[in-house]
């Protein structure tokens, strides 16, 4: 019997490795979608040995390049393999404003637009029972979308990494809700996972106050395994396949406020994102 296929972005990172390990142990064939091939290859060999699953591959993807995302997706589309799981896990919190060749602020491209394009292109490979999980963040609650500033600067005004990051996580949350609505009739399940504050490189601010924040917040910071737990459940637990369009934290559904569920900018966000990616679809 042929193994079911899973694609995991940022599979070589802290939470990504934990997710990859769990999916490998569940018997899936896995494509680790990663930017740093050397790091990812080392992680692949380690996980193959640890899980006794030899069906793990590394494919190059740079979510800061829509061309790279499209090339990755086209390669998979050409294989005509059915896709059971898509884990949009990769993320970044840039230390300054960096603009990609596509004219997008880099955090926006990696955290949101790149995953939007990847998901949209891979939908033809999905069928009833396929699952998409987007790794969001509790910071979505302070996110604010101002167009066109969101795409080209991350936020209106001067750059500051936390609100830019929060804005991308709000966008990814709204994408989760809207995509779930659009593909529900096809039996494709779409949910979002909030890992909490996790001990990964992304929380390092590279500022003088880092040691202080570490002292004060360390008791509340989760390990990568703890942070990945909710996403793993959404990918693999039988019960999770019965719900769609939800945000989940601590392995439970988190009730979203109406301002998010029926966000007034959801339609605009979808339409404007489509404009950025249309040449690749």
CA dihedral 115, 89, 247, 188 (to 10 degrees): 60
Can you give the C-alpha Rg of the chain in angstroms? Answer: 18
**In whole angstroms, what is the distance from residue 208 CA to residue 87 CA?**
34
Q: Among residues 159, 161, 162, 66, which one has the least CA distance to residue 117?
A: 66
Are β-strands 131-135 and 189-194 bridged in parallel, bridged antiparallel, or unpaired? parallel
CA angle, residues 167, 105, 88, in degrees to nearest 5: 60
Q: How far is CA 189 from CA 23, 63, 150, 242, in A?
A: 17, 23, 27, 8
Q: How far is CA 34 from CA 17, 39, 212, in A?
A: 11, 9, 32
**In whole angstroms, what is the distance from residue 76 CA to residue 82 CA?**
9
CB atoms under 10 Å from CB of 242, counted, come to: 8
Answer positive or negative: Cα dihedral of 88, 66, 70, 62: negative
CA–chain centroid gap for 240, Å, is 18
Structure tokens, 35: 């930017």
Are β-strands 29-34 and 246-249 bridged in parallel, bridged antiparallel, or unpaired? unpaired
In the annotation, is 165 catalytic?
yes
From the list 116, 165, 225, 276, the catalytic residue is 165
Which residues are catalytic, by number? 165
């Amino acid at each position: 019997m042929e193994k079911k296929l899973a694609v995991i972005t940022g599979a070589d990172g802290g939470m990504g490795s934990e997710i990859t390990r769990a999916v490998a142990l569940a018997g899936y064939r896995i494509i680790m979608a990663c930017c740093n091939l050397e790091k990812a290859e080392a992680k692949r060999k380690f996980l193959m040995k640890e899980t006794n699953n030899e069906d793990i591959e590394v494919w190059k993807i740079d979510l800061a390049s829509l061309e790279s995302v499209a090339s990755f997706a086209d390669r998979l589309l050409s294989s005509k393999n059915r896709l059971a799981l898509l884990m949009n896990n990769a993320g970044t919190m840039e230390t300054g404003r960096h603009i990609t060749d596509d004219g997008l602020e880099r955090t926006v491209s990696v955290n949101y637009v790149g995953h939007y394009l990847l998901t949209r292109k891979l939908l033809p490979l999905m069928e009833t029972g396929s699952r998409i999980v987007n790794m969001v963040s509790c910071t979505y609650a302070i996110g604010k979308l101002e167009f066109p500033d969101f795409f080209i600067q991350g936020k209106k005004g001067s750059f500051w990494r936390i609100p830019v990051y929060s804005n991308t996580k709000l966008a990814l949350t709204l994408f989760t809700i809207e995509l779930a609505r659009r593909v529900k009739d096809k039996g494709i399940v779409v949910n979002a996972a909030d890992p909490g504050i996790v001990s990964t490189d992304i929380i390092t601010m590279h500022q003088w106050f880092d040691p202080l924040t570490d002292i004060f917040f360390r008791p509340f910071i989760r390990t990568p395994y703890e942070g990945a737990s909710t996403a793993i459940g959404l990918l693999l637990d039988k019960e999770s396949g019965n719900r769609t369009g939800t945000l989940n934290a601590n392995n439970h559904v988190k009730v979203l406020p109406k301002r998010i569920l029926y966000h007034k900018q959801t339609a605009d966000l979808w339409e404007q994102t489509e404009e950025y990616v249309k040449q690749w679809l």
